[in-house]
Amino acid sequence: MVITEVRIKLMEDNNERLQAFCSVTFDDAFVVRDLKIIEGIKGSFVAMPSRKLTDRCHSCGCKNHLRARFCNQCGSKLDEDRATRDADGRAKLHADIAHPINSACREVIQGAVLKAYHDEKERAKQPGYVCRYDDYDAGDYDETLTAVVGELNRGDGNFRPHGPHANRGTHETKTPYTTREDKRTDSFGAGIL
């Protein structure tokens, strides 16, 4: 797999550690967005896209971020030590969405991203500079998508075409959504809306 493009969105100098957002394209066919370039103690490093970890309230079952002290739904006090901790004792509050599996891959990605970051900083000094980070247009990938669909449909035995999926699961037969008026109670937060 080859990194074919890196796009950088520089952050304004506001004394924060976040220096830029970036996206990395592999083989002109697969893009990973929202990587972050962060200024660390030993220099800049690349943080992979991540999501906040949540758990459920013991009273009502509502999902809450692990930093929350009270439930967003019912207001119950949450256990402050419910997050798992790493070897250094720091709470794990985020989980990577996409990440390299080994250090060699991480070094390749980080090297390409940091090189592109430094190049972008130099480009930003030029008059008429325009950031390309948000330039993703559906038209950019039409040709690639057509090629991939063509490969899938060529019928040489490498791919097994199949018909449409049947209705499965329970999401088609769920009970209809009830309105707010149907759920009014005298519990925490009642009457706010």
Given this model, what pLDDT does residue 30 score?
92
CB distance 129 to 18 below 8 Å: no
Q: Is residue 166 part of a domain?
A: no
> Could you report the per-residue pLDDT of 88-108, keeping only the tens digit for each?
888 888 888 888 999 999 999
pTM: 0.59
Q: What mean pLDDT comes out for the span 38-63?
A: 90
Given this model, what pLDDT does residue 138 score?
44
Q: Are residues 118 and 41 in the same domain?
A: yes
Q: Is residue 161 part of a domain?
A: no
Q: Are residues 88 and 111 in the same domain?
A: no
Give the Cα separation of 32 and 25 in Å (integer).
6
Domain extent at residue 62: 51-93
Q: Are residues 5 and 45 in the same domain?
A: yes
Tokens 């390299």 sit on residue: 100
Q: Are residues 64 and 101 in the same domain?
A: no
Q: Are residues 13 and 39 in the same domain?
A: yes
The residues near 182 (Cβ < 8 Å, ≥ 6 apart) are none
Kindly tell me if the per-residue pLDDT of 26 is higher than 80: yes
Instruction: Quote the number of domains for the chain.
Output: 2
Q: Are residues 43 and 110 in the same domain?
A: yes
**Quick one: pLDDT band at residue 171, thresholds 50, 70, 90?**
very low
Q: Is residue 171 part of a domain?
A: no
**The domain that contains 119 carries what CATH number?**
3.30.1120.40
The residues near 76 (Cβ < 8 Å, ≥ 6 apart) are 57, 58, 59, 60, 70
Angle at 19 between CA 15 and CA 21, to 5 degrees: 140
Q: Are residues 2 and 42 in the same domain?
A: yes
Kindly tell me if the per-residue pLDDT of 180 is higher than 60: no
Last-in-domain residue among 38, 71, 93: 93
Higher pLDDT, 170 or 25: 25
Kindly tell me if the per-residue pLDDT of 175 is higher than 50: no
> Could you report the per-residue pLDDT of 37-46, keeping only the tens digit for each?
999 999 999 9
Q: Is residue 3 part of a domain?
A: yes
Given this model, what pLDDT does residue 148 score?
56
Q: Is residue 140 part of a domain?
A: no
Q: Are residues 105 and 129 in the same domain?
A: yes
Q: Are residues 2 and 45 in the same domain?
A: yes
Q: Is residue 145 part of a domain?
A: no
Q: Are residues 81 and 3 in the same domain?
A: no
Q: Are residues 35 and 104 in the same domain?
A: yes
Q: Is residue 165 part of a domain?
A: no
Q: What mean pLDDT comes out for the span 178-189?
A: 50
Q: Is residue 157 part of a domain?
A: no
Q: Are residues 84 and 55 in the same domain?
A: yes
DSSP three-state, residue 58: coil
User: Which of 53-62, 136-145, 184-193 reaches the highest mean pLDDT?
Assistant: 53-62
Angle at 90 between CA 69 and CA 11, to 5 degrees: 85
What is the phi-psi region of residue 182: left when phi exceeds 0, alpha when psi lies from -120 to 50, beta otherwise?
Answer: alpha
